[in-house]
Structure 1
């Protein structure tokens, strides 16, 4: 099973400064993100979202706010015919030392434990942060870094300027 692992904030929906997240009540989709997710599913990828949500334990947002935004995002995607297989998130503080805060491998390992048929060799990681690409590198996965502007000497990392550009590289 090949999976497109996607970061959420800044990749699928808009990201904000930590303080602004406090007042966010609904997701705003990144232009073309819905089309890209649809195309990925047509190309045989299952969609799994892996997202750092340290905002919860650092008290910028509540667990309920996270769930509300996520529910609205999933509802909109479902309306567009996009099925998200699962979402794995890290609610821990950045200084908690947990194993799931990206770039650590915990979120993807949770996915592999739940779905042992996942083949990381045919899967991809799509995200807008250095942490996303370091995670891809650590698992020898193909990574697509959106607007990161950093070159990686190791691993199969492709820099792209937008999520739409990812589709130029997915067979």
Structure 2
């Protein structure tokens, strides 16, 4: 898709994958059988899509660098995800993934904003009309580096473990799961030119 498209044409939500859309797994999600949607994830994505938000997944997949996950297998995992969402009427606009390990000299591994910048080029995403949703501090940091609003999601016990780490990043929305974050984002809305808000909303 041409990046000449007006950035105001469609607001965008960037979504981390593991821990937001599907259950994280010790030892990586390495097969389609390992992929399991989290409760509320599809409903949240449906709500966002119905409200006109474009859905873009941005995920670190360093299992590829460790030779634990071939690119072809990752495509099969994503195909299972896409088909599961499609059956519920949800379409993903694009998926970006970083195959590099921690410490690699790349621009794409979160918390660097390379994947979001690629989407800005490919899809005409305007940071002022975008959100980043993730369960990790690095996801929120990635959104800040890109200049968009952020939502931090996860069970309260999980968030309590990282309360001090997240504090400097001041996510705009804090929620138990993707469904709650989506509800908060849709409720707030976003228009091009709106100033980036640091008001913390507990969803």
> Of residues 31, 46, 50 in structure 1, which corresponds to 2:54?
46
| 1:75 aligned partner | 83
> Of residues 7, 11, 20 in structure 2, which corresponds to 1:2?
11
> Of residues 110, 123, 129 in structure 2, which corresponds to 1:115?
123
| 1:153 aligned partner | 168
State the secondary structure of the residue aligned to 1:88.
Answer: strand
* TM-score, normalised with respect to structure 1: 0.90
1:153 Cα offset (Å)? 3.3
The 1-side partners of 2:11 and 2:173 are apart by: 18
1:93 Cα offset (Å)? 1.7
Report the more deviating stretch, 129-138 or 59-68.
59-68
* TM-score, normalised with respect to structure 2: 0.77
Contact 1:4/1:124, CA 8 A, preserved across alignment? yes
The 2-side partners of 1:106 and 1:154 are apart by: 19
Residues 162, 156 of structure 1: alpha-carbon distance in 2 compared, 3 angstrom cutoff: closer
Question: RMSD over aligned Cα, in angstroms?
Answer: 1.7
Counterparts of 1:54-93 in structure 2, within 5 Å, are: 54-93=62-101
Residues 24, 98 of structure 1: alpha-carbon distance in 2 compared, 3 angstrom cutoff: same
| 2:42 aligned partner | 34
Residues 48, 37 of structure 1: alpha-carbon distance in 2 compared, 3 angstrom cutoff: same
The ranges of structure 1 where at least 4 consecutive aligned residues each deviate by more than 4 angstroms after the TM superposition are none
State the secondary structure of the residue aligned to 1:164.
Answer: helix
Residues 68, 24 of structure 1: alpha-carbon distance in 2 compared, 3 angstrom cutoff: closer
User: Does 2:147 match 1:140?
Assistant: yes
Q: How many residues align?
A: 169
